[in-house]
C-alpha cells in the first residue's frame, strides 16, 4: 500500500512543474491520475515504475558525464518497461 501512495505522490507532485511549461495541464493531470489508477492495482507494475525511476536517475548521471551512448541504452530500457505499464503511461511519459 505504501508503494501506491509513493507513486501517487510522485505523479501528483510533478503537476506544478508541468503547469509552468504545459498549456494543457488538465489533460496531463487526468492522464497522470489514470496512470496512477492503472499502476496502483498491480504490484508488478509498481515495481516496474520504480525500475523506470531508477533508470531515469542513471540517465541523469549519463547526461552529466556526457555519455550519450549509455543514455540512449537506458532510454531503450525505459521504453521496454514503459510498454509493460501500458500506452497511458507511455503517453504521459512523453508528455512530461
User: What is the model's pLDDT at position 96?
Assistant: 60
CA dist 9 → 36, 85, 87, 90 (Å): 9, 18, 21, 19
Map grid coordinates 558525464 to a residue. 65
Per-residue pLDDT tens for 34-75? 778 877 878 888 888 888 888 988 999 999 999 999 999 998
Average pLDDT taken over every residue of the chain: 77
| Share above pLDDT 70 across residues of the chain, in percent, rounded to a whole number | 70
Domain tally, the chain: 1
Parent domain of 27: 2-95
| DSSP per position, 28-42 | HHHHHHHHHHHHHT-
pLDDT band, residue 20 (cuts 50/70/90): low
10-24, 41-55, 70-84: the lowest-pLDDT one: 10-24
Percent of the chain as helix, strand, coil, to the nearest 5: 90, 0, 10
Whether the per-residue pLDDT at 15 is higher than 90: the answer is: no
User: What is the model's pLDDT at position 70?
Assistant: 93
Amino acid at each position: 500500500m505504501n508503494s501506491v501512495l509513493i507513486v501517487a505522490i510522485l505523479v501528483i507532485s510533478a503537476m506544478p512543474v508541468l503547469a509552468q511549461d504545459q498549456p494543457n495541464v488538465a489533460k496531463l493531470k487526468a492522464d497522470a491520475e489514470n496512470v496512477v489508477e492503472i499502476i496502483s492495482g498491480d504490484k508488478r507494475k509498481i515495481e516496474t515504475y520504480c525500475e523506470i525511476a531508477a533508470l531515469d536517475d542513471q540517465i541523469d548521471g549519463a547526461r552529466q558525464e556526457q555519455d550519450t551512448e549509455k543514455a540512449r541504452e537506458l532510454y531503450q530500457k525505459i521504453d521496454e518497461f514503459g510498454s509493460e505499464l501500458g500506452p497511458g503511461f507511455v503517453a504521459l511519459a512523453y508528455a512530461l
